[in-house]
């Protein structure tokens, strides 16, 4: 007799969904979360004003250097003294990379994981993304197509709440939307001029997981409309952006079927050689270091791509000497992220008498056109641009004191539009995470050894994206365009876009993939993986919405199997 029907490992973006769907269908669910609990009244800092804090809420330099060198380098815009507890200390959670292959592993260990910290940009994959691998031969074929996931996108969007606009684009299908945030005057101008000059390209509202017209269901969970303050990386007391904390976990707990255990570091999964099933989840208490095993009929791994691969690799048995569910040797391989580097900005004249209300989360988005509406590209796949238009140069980020300083900050600056490309990274089996052979963390677990580089396609793509960004701003009427360096671009470090994916990919063939079309391990029927690890390719869209849809879809399938007694 097992203690629970299901165990979900990790309470972040994907784990929250797994827990909600399983609990709402009547199963007794245990969520194991390695980090501590989050108490909004104590942990959120969205009502903290910097002038009330020592050092204007900056983290002291020595502390950054000693404890957060990697996290801070990647997300300094979000890290303040009052929010640093949302990020892991690099000093406490080290990992290993070859000297010449740095990797940014950016994390938050607490209830809600990085769903509390994300940028909320939410886009569906399009039909082309599910066919890319089979068409150009990189990676393994997705075992599902867009139409398989479409109803599940709709399902999660209705619950999560996505602000955006219907555009009818095939490559970036519309979501179920709440009203978008209005474009600024220069964004409207940029859109009009750009679409006239480049009929194959579009400028659309950024799609963001913010409530602009909350539903009854959303309000019943204590969520309210977005106040347009852009304080979101401090947590949101209004529950206005989607997170596990504001949405899925409250829904799961409301059922009375869900238990969350914090400070529970999953060490490994135990395997029953006779029943050929996972039989238990071995956990180390983060504080007392006490070891305990929990049991359930099936397990969902949602610890995020790298951590999930590490748990599998750590779970060795006679049948799986190289790690659980790893007969294909694909666990830990094909680690992907998105790539950035291409960026440009330019000023727009003639709008000095105009302004905008509030600080919108998200601005505009230029959906992928490369190898979709334009076929003349010297690279495979494509990229989208995130961007926005606002008045710059009066946000207080200047040195000074006294009357002159105050006056300078009262005068609105010029209008500027900025563009920033996010490109697809091809799956490559040599980009991988393994367990370090000698180094261990303070709980005695092997460190992750991450070996990952950007490839030639990514370099060419970003070089071209840089040129395109400049040409689009020029054609749209921008002046003083900052087009970036003329020399070879420095690509974003792998991991730095914080979209890690691919380390336990889905596929049709158990010999070349870890999971089947339901995110269920080919080798172990009562094991499901629905975080980014399951992705056979990454598209160029921000991926979390896809993890949500895959998690909900897999959870419903698992419940069917459970009720039939098959798992
Ligand atoms: C600053 C920032 C901006 C981002 N912007 C966007 C965006 O705009 N759009 C987008 O789509 N995505 C964005 N992302 C990425 C997004 O946050 C991730 O894709 C998403 O959170 C991944 O979900 P997950 O469930 O795999 O992992 P997480 O949300 O990270 O959750 C994993 C959970 O597992 C726990 N865990 C890990 N190991 C163990 C273990 N051994 N035992 C028990 N528990 C464990 C962790 O503590 C964590 O709570 C952003 C991320 C960051 C940090
Ligand atoms: S901008 Fe909206 S979602 Fe962000 S913290 Fe403010 S109310 Fe919350």
Render pLDDT for 203-261 as a digit per residue (tens, 0 to 9): 999 999 999 999 999 999 999 999 998 889 999 999 999 999 999 999 999 999 999 99
Cβ of 232 less than 6 Å from ligand 2:
yes
Report the atom number in ligand 2 closest to the C-alpha of 210. 3
- What is the secondary structure of 345-357 as a DSSP string? EEEE-S-TT---S
Q: Return the pLDDT at 395.
A: 60
Report the atom number in ligand 1 closest to the C-alpha of 121. 8
Measured CA to CA in angstroms, residue 313 lies from 15, 53, 392, 524 at distances of 20, 44, 48, 14
Residue 416: phi and psi, rounded to 5, are -140, 145
Which tokens is 506 given?
Answer: 């889905």
CA distance 105 to 69: 11
Which tokens is 349 given?
Answer: 């004249």
Question: Residue 456 belongs to what H/E stretch?
Answer: helix 456-475
Q: Return the pLDDT at 538.
A: 98
Pocket of ligand 2, candidates 46, 119, 121, 226: which has the most ligand atoms within 8 Å of its Cβ, to mutate?
Answer: 226
Q: Please say if the pLDDT value at position 175 is more than 90.
A: yes
- Residue 347, strand partner residues: 416, 479
CA distance 492 to 397: 25
Question: Among 153-167, 282-296, 380-394, where is mean pLDDT lowest?
Answer: 380-394
Question: Among 60-69, 124-133, 385-394, where is mean pLDDT lowest?
Answer: 385-394
Q: Return the pLDDT at 396.
A: 59
The pLDDT tens digits for 397-430 are: 667 788 887 777 777 889 999 999 999 999 999 9
CA distance 9 to 264: 9
CA distance 239 to 40: 10
CA distance 125 to 321: 36
Q: Give me the torsion for CA of 358, 361, 365, 367, rounded to 10°.
A: -150
Cβ of 46 less than 6 Å from ligand 2:
yes
Coil/strand/helix, residue 402: helix
Cβ of 361 less than 6 Å from ligand 2:
yes
CB-based pocket (< 6 A), ligand 1? 9-15, 32-35, 75, 78, 106, 109, 113-115, 117-121, 264-266, 302-304, 307, 311, 498-499, 531-532, 542-544, 547
Cα(195) to centroid of ligand 1, in Å?
35
Cα 136–Cα 140–Cα 141 angle in degrees, nearest 5: 80
Cα(162) to centroid of ligand 2, in Å?
13
Ligand 1, atom 31: nearest CA belongs to which residue?
Answer: 12
Ligand 1, atom 21: nearest CA belongs to which residue?
Answer: 114
The pLDDT tens digits for 98-136 are: 999 999 999 999 999 999 999 999 999 999 999 999 999
The half-sphere exposure of 305 on its side-chain side, counting CA atoms within 13 A, is 33
CA distance 279 to 7: 11
Ligand 1, atom 16: nearest CA belongs to which residue?
Answer: 118
Go through the chain and tell me how many residues it has. Answer: 567
Q: Please say if the pLDDT value at position 485 is more than 90.
A: no
Cβ of 370 less than 6 Å from ligand 2:
no
CA distance 109 to 33: 8
Report the atom number in ligand 1 closest to the C-alpha of 307. 38
Residues 497-509 have a mean pLDDT of 98
Ligand nearest to the CA of 501: 1
The pTM (predicted TM-score) of the whole model is 0.97
Contact predicate 159/532, CB 8 Å: no
Measured CA to CA in angstroms, residue 230 lies from 78, 79, 226, 236, 492 at distances of 11, 14, 9, 10, 25
Cβ of 228 less than 6 Å from ligand 2:
yes
CA distance 279 to 282: 10
Query: Tokens 């980090």 — which residue?
Result: 35
Cα(222) to centroid of ligand 1, in Å?
23
Cα(39) to centroid of ligand 2, in Å?
17
Measured CA to CA in angstroms, residue 218 lies from 161, 190, 194, 222, 243 at distances of 8, 34, 37, 7, 12
Which conformational region is residue 409 in: left (phi greater than 0), alpha (psi within -120 to 50 degrees), or beta? alpha
Cα(518) to centroid of ligand 2, in Å?
34
Contact predicate 301/10, CB 8 Å: yes
Cα(421) to centroid of ligand 1, in Å?
21
Report the atom number in ligand 1 closest to the C-alpha of 311. 41
Report the atom number in ligand 1 closest to the C-alpha of 303. 34
Under the banding of pLDDT at 50, 70 and 90, the label for residue 394 is low
């Amino acid at each position: 007799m097992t203690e629970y029907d299901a165990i979900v490992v990790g309470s972040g973006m994907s784990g929250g969904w797994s827990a909600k769907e399983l609990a709402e269908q009547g199963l007794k669910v245990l969520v194991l979360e390695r980090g501590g609990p989050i108490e909004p009244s104590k942990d959120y800092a969205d009502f903290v004003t910097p002038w009330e804090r020592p050092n204007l809420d900056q983290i002291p330099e020595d502390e950054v250097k000693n404890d957060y060198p990697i996290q801070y380098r990647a997300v300094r815009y979000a890290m303040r003294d009052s929010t640093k507890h949302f990020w892991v200390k690099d000093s406490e959670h080290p990992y290993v990379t070859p000297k010449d292959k740095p990797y940014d592993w950016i994390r938050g260990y607490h209830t809600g994981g990085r769903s509390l910290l994300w940028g909320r940009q939410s886009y569906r994959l399009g039909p082309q993304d599910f066919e890319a691998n089979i068409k150009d031969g990189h990676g393994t074929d997705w075992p599902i197509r867009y139409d398989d996931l479409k109803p599940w996108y709709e399902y999660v969007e209705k619950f999560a709440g996505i602000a955006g606009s219907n555009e009818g684009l095939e490559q970036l299908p519309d979501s179920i939307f709440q009203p978008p945030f209005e474009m600024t005057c220069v964004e409207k101008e940029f859109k009009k001029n750009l679409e006239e000059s480049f009929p194959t390209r579009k400028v659309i509202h950024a799609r963001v997981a913010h409530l602009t017209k909350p539903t009854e269901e959303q309000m019943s969970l204590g969520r309210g409309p977005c106040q347009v303050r852009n304080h979101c990386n401090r947590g949101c007391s209004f529950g206005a952006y989607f997170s596990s904390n504001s949405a899925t976990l409250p829904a799961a707990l409301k059922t009375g079927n869900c238990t969350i255990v914090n400070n529970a570091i999953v060490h490994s999964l135990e395997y029953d050689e006779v029943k050929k099933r996972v039989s238990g989840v071995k956990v180390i208490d983060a504080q007392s270091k006490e070891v305990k095993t929990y049991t359930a009929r099936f397990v969902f791994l949602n610890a995020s791509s790298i951590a999930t691969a590490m748990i599998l690799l750590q779970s060795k048995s006679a049948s799986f000497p190289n790690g659980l569910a790893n007969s294909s040797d694909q666990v830990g391989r094909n680690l992907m992220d998105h790539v950035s580097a291409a960026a440009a900005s330019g000023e727009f004249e003639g709008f000095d008498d105009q302004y905008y209300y509030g600080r919108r989360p998200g601005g505009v988005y230029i959906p992928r056109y490369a190898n979709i509406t334009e076929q003349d590209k010297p690279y495979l796949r494509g990229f989208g641009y995130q961007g926005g238009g606002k008045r710059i140069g009066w946000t207080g980020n200047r040195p000074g004191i006294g009357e002159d300083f105050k006056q300078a900050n009262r005068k609105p600056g010029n209008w500027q539009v900025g563009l920033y490309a996010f490109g697809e990274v091809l799956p490559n089996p040599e980009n991988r995470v393994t367990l370090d052979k000698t180094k261990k963390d303070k709980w005695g677990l092997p460190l992750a050894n991450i070996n990952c580089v950007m490839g030639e396609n990514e370099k060419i793509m970003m070089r071209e994206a840089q040129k395109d960004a400049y040409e689009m701003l020029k054609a749209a009427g921008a002046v003083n365009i900052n087009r970036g360096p003329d020399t070879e671009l420095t690509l974003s470090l792998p991991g730095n876009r914080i979209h890690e994916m691919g380390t336990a990919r889905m596929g049709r063939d158990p010999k070349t993939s870890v999971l089947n079309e339901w995110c269920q391990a080919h080798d172990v029927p009562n094991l499901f993986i629905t975080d980014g690890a399951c992705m056979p390719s990454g598209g160029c869209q921000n991926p979390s919405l896809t993890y949500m849809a895959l998690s909900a879809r897999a959870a419903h399938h698992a419940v069917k199997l459970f009720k039939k007694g098959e798992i």
